[in-house]
Amino acid sequence: MSNSQNNHSEGDHRSEKNESKAERVEAKAENRERGEASKHIADGDLNKDIQASTLEKRLSRKSGATGYGVASADSLLPTEAEIQKMGKQLTAQLEQEKPLAVIAQNIGDNNPFHPQAPQVMTDATNATPDNLLSSYGRDNVMVQGFSFPNPVEAYKKEVEHHYRGKELAAMDKEIPAKAWDDAYKAFPELKQLGEKDTTRLMKAIIANELDHYGKEDLAQDEIAKTGHGGDILHKYSVGFAQIKPDGLRTMAKELDGEVQAGKRVSNPLDRFAKMDKDQLANELANPANTPLFVAAHMAHDLHMLNNHTKDLDVTPVALGYEYNADRVYAKSDSKHEHLLNKKDAEAKHIPYNSALPTDAVLQKSEHAANIREWLKKVQ
C-alpha cells in the first residue's frame, strides 16, 4: 500500500474518532443542560416562555463550533448562570411594567344597580378620558396593575380573585364600624328587619360580592380611582357593592320623589346624585361608602317585596336574593311553569322577567345559597 493510501486511511480513521468524540461531547452536554433546565422548570423558577426558549435553543444550535457539524459543550446555550440571569431580567421587567388586566363581560339584569358590560382589554397606566377613548375606543381602557416577582401566582392571588378568602378581613379594614350604623339609620324602613339582621345581611351581601370579585371588577375600580372614569364606567359595576353609577342616580331620583311626596324626610343619596360622573365613580369605589349604597338597594328591594307578601315571606335570605336575583321566567311563560337560570336565558337571548324569591325559587337559587352561607359567617 502506498504512503498516500496509508495517510488517507489514517486520516479517515482519525476523522471517525474525532466525529465519535464530538458526538459524545454533544450528547453529554445536552443531557447536562437538559438536566439544568428541567430542574429550574420543576422548581418553578422560569417563566414558560423562558422554558420553551431555553429548550429550543439547546436543540437547534448545532453548527460551527468544532468544525464537525456539532456544538461543543462550551457553545451550547444557555448555562445555569445564564438561566438565572434571564429569570432576574424577567422579574426586573415585570416590576417596571404594569401587567395586562382584562375587563370581562359582566352579566346584567333588570335591576338598575347592575350593568351589562362589553368585553374590554386593558393595559398601561395613564387613564384619562382622551387617552382611553382615542387609543382604545370607548369600551377599551387602560388601568394600573401590580408589580410582582412571580407573574402566575401573583395574578391568581391578586387579580383573578382579589379578595377571595379574605372578604371579612377586607371589610373590617376598609369600612369604618360607624358606617354600618349610619347606613341602617339612613333608611327607617330597614327597621322591619332590625339593626342586627340588617347589618348582618349587608355584610353577607358585600362578602359575597367580594368572593366573586374578579379581574374585571378590579380593573373597573382602578379606573374609577383615577378620577377620570365617569364617561367610561357609568354603566359598569363599581366598588365593593358592585353597583353602577347610573343605578345609583336612578335610586337617588326615586328617593327624591319620596321626599317630595312626604314619604321620606330626606334623601340619603342626595350629595352623590349631585356629583359629576368622575366623582361619583370614585365615590362608588370607596369602600367606606359601601354600607350606605347597599342599604339603599335593600330599602328599594324591601318596598317591592312588601307588595308581594301573599306570595312570599320577606326574610333576610329573600331580601339578599333580590340584590342579585339569578332565577327568571321567560316572558312567554305567563304561568311561570319553567324556572330558568338568568345566565342561560341571556346566553340564549330569551326575554325574561326576574323570579320573585318564593320558597321554590330560593331552593333553586345559587345566589340565595351563597347568602345563606355568608349569613352564618358574619357577625
- All three cell numbers of 175, joined, read 369600612
d(CA 277, CA 288): 19
- pLDDT at 65 (0 to 100): 40
Q: Assess whether 367 and 242 both reside in one domain.
A: yes
Residue 48 lies in a domain: yes
- pLDDT at 271 (0 to 100): 93
Q: Assess whether 79 and 176 both reside in one domain.
A: no
Q: Assess whether 213 and 329 both reside in one domain.
A: yes
Q: Assess whether 364 and 239 both reside in one domain.
A: yes
Final residue belonging to a domain, choices 94, 126, 150 = 94
Residues near 63 by Cβ (< 8 Å), separated by ≥ 6? 69, 70, 71
- pLDDT at 79 (0 to 100): 54
Beta-bridge partner residues of 352: 330
Q: Classify residue 106 by burial, with Cβ atoms within 10 Å: 0-12, 13-18, 19+.
A: buried
- All three cell numbers of 235, joined, read 354603566
- pLDDT at 89 (0 to 100): 62
Question: Residue written as cell 379578595?
Answer: 163
Residue 180 lies in a domain: yes
Cα 362 off chain centre by: 27
- All three cell numbers of 55, joined, read 429548550
Q: Assess whether 248 and 334 both reside in one domain.
A: yes
Q: Assess whether 196 and 56 both reside in one domain.
A: no
Local confidence pLDDT in tens for the 379 residues of the chain: 545 444 444 455 445 555 556 566 666 665 665 555 555 444 444 444 444 444 444 444 444 443 334 444 444 445 556 555 655 665 555 455 443 333 333 333 445 554 443 333 333 334 444 443 344 333 444 444 444 445 455 455 555 778 999 999 999 999 999 999 999 999 999 999 999 999 999 999 999 999 999 888 888 888 888 888 888 888 889 999 999 999 999 999 999 999 999 999 999 999 998 999 999 999 999 999 999 999 999 999 999 999 999 999 999 999 999 999 999 999 999 999 999 999 999 999 999 999 999 999 999 999 999 999 999 999 7
**What secondary structure does DSSP assign to 282-311, as a single string?**
HHHT-GGGHHHHHHHHHHHHHHHHGGGTTT
Final residue belonging to a domain, choices 94, 122, 139 = 94
Residue 124 lies in a domain: no
Q: Assess whether 90 and 165 both reside in one domain.
A: no
| DSSP annotation of 68 | S
Residue 147 lies in a domain: no
Residue 215: domain span = 161-377
**What secondary structure does DSSP assign to 108-156, as a single string?**
P-SSTTS--B--EEE-SS---HHHHHHHH-TT---------S-HHHHII
Task: Please count the structural domains in the chain.
Answer: 2
Q: Assess whether 215 and 333 both reside in one domain.
A: yes
Final residue belonging to a domain, choices 94, 113, 131 = 94
Q: How far is CA 129 from CA 72, 280, 312, 363, in A?
A: 57, 15, 46, 45
d(CA 304, CA 319): 10
**What secondary structure does DSSP assign to 158-190, as a single string?**
IIITTTTT-HHHHHHHHS-HHHHHHHHHH-GGG
Question: How many beta carbons lie within 10 A of that of residue 32, not counting itself?
Answer: 14
Cα 130 off chain centre by: 25
Residue 103 lies in a domain: no
Q: Assess whether 56 and 174 both reside in one domain.
A: no
